[in-house]
Amino acid sequence: MIEVVDVQKIYRMGTVEVPALAGVNLSIARGEMVAIMGASGSGKSTLMNILGCLDVPTAGEYILDGEYIGVTSDGRLAEIRNSKIGFVFQTYNLLPRLSALSNVELALMYGRRPHRRASAIDALERVGLGDRIRHKPTEISGGQQQRVGIARAIVKSPALLLADEPTGNLDTRSGAEIMDILGGLHAEGITVIIVTHEPEIAERANRIITMRDGIIVSDTSANGQHSSSSSGQTAQ
């Protein structure tokens, strides 16, 4: 589903160039659950932005479902994000004055999709919030707010779900519940990619990629086996 070939990303600040990715090679098959780890500044967030079509590489190729993303127009990038990708954020990014139901419905506004309300209710029920659809974010717990965030991400039936530190603001129990939900979505066939700094969260994935200084330094499966899909950038 995902092919990243020698991807580089350089941010330019005036005359200064700041390299964020220094040649990343990566393959992710449809239906995998992958965790990306690394210290601040390792490049994991930049890679996540490229995988989510929020940014494009400075050099190299990113291929998503057979489409070359680097040569794609902004309008097409928006279409891809809307049709194929769901995003889950650490800070939930919910509108405080809207109910859980309305927050999820907002994800369906682009493209004028039919049956928005029914689809939003179904998504909330899938994350165990069928009895909280009228509650505003301030009226539910942090874990429940993140469930609303996941419902908003899956309401469009994406093939790819990107979760950026999805448990970062939660206690251990709530974080485990969120990971159970993400694991269930993975079991349904959704490709799930999680950025996290927590080893216990990463261990819930069936593959862990570790980044440092803009490259992949390790890529292991859940059973500890080295993956060859990031060859050339991976150290055992």
Give pTM, 2 decimals: 0.91
Find out whether 151 and 120 touch, Cβ atoms under 8 Å: yes
- Sorted by sequence, the CB contacts under 8 Å of residue 209 that are 6+ apart come out as 26, 34, 35, 36, 37, 216, 218, 219, 230
* Tens-digit pLDDT profile for residues 58-80: 999 999 999 999 878 889 999 99
- CB atoms under 10 Å from CB of 116, counted, come to 17
Mean pLDDT for the chain? 92
pLDDT in tens, 120-144: 999 999 999 999 999 999 999 999 9
Contact at 8 Å (CB) between 151 and 124?
A: yes
- Classify strands 160-164 and 191-195 as parallel, antiparallel or unpaired: parallel
The angle at the Cα of 162, spanning 152 to 171, to the nearest 5 degrees, equals 75
